[in-house]
Structure 1
Amino acid sequence: MTRALFVGGTVDNAELDLEVQGRQPPMHYPENSGAGRPRYRLHHVGMREGEVAYAVYGAPEMADADIVRISDERDYPRRFSAEPQPVQPGNTFH
């Protein structure tokens, strides 16, 4: 189980469990909204023992530096005993 953590937007500081089952978290949340509105984008993940422990999603209007700052303030790596890794196109986490 991967914990999704949200930074900014209407669901700031919200959390939910994601069933990723051997694959990386989706690049956007929700994955397929169909609403034509921007979705939260996957910013970085926390790796623990080769598994994705958490995934940080940032609101579309937020700058990367703000997402990093807020994530640092919330101390996700310590909370989940995980090492943060940035998400870049083509990254896969195993």
Structure 2
Amino acid sequence: MRALFVGGVVDNSELDLEGDSPPLHYPPDGGAGRSRYRLHQIGRQDGAVAYAVYGAPELPAEHIRQVADERAYARRFEAEPHDVEH
């Protein structure tokens, strides 16, 4: 699965994640007691997670959703987007 980032110092960056489900925070331990990014959306294709959208903690969820739509992650991965409740 692919991790996609909105906001912060790695805005519009991507990386591959191992496993069947994405962690709720990335990186799981930010070192300062607070993760730098939190999971906002996952895209599923045939039941499997194809991508995970992480947002910087200072950004509102609506903004992250809007950016994910503008970047067309769901279309790019041919997946159905699902918001993650916090």
* TM-score normalised per structure 1: 0.86
Please tell me whether the aligned partners of residues 5 and 13 of structure 2 are also in contact (alpha carbons under 8 angstroms).
yes
RMSD: 1.2
Please tell me whether the aligned partners of residues 28 and 35 of structure 2 are also in contact (alpha carbons under 8 angstroms).
no
Tell me which of 42, 46, 58 is aligned to 2:43: 46
Matches within 5 A, 1:1-16: 2-16=1-15
Percent same amino acid among aligned pairs?
62
Instruction: Write the distance in 2 (CA, Å) between the matches of 1:86 and 1:37.
Output: 22
* TM-score normalised per structure 2: 0.93
Point out the more displaced range, 27-36 or 55-64: 27-36
Q: Unaligned regions of 5+ residues in structure 2, if any? A: none
Please tell me whether the aligned partners of residues 42 and 51 of structure 2 are also in contact (alpha carbons under 8 angstroms).
yes
Q: Deviations over 1:56-93 (max 9, x none)?
A: 0000000011101111110001100000011125xxxx
| Equivalent pairs, count | 86
1:36 matched to 2:33? The reply is: yes
Q: Unaligned regions of 5+ residues in structure 1, if any? A: 90-94
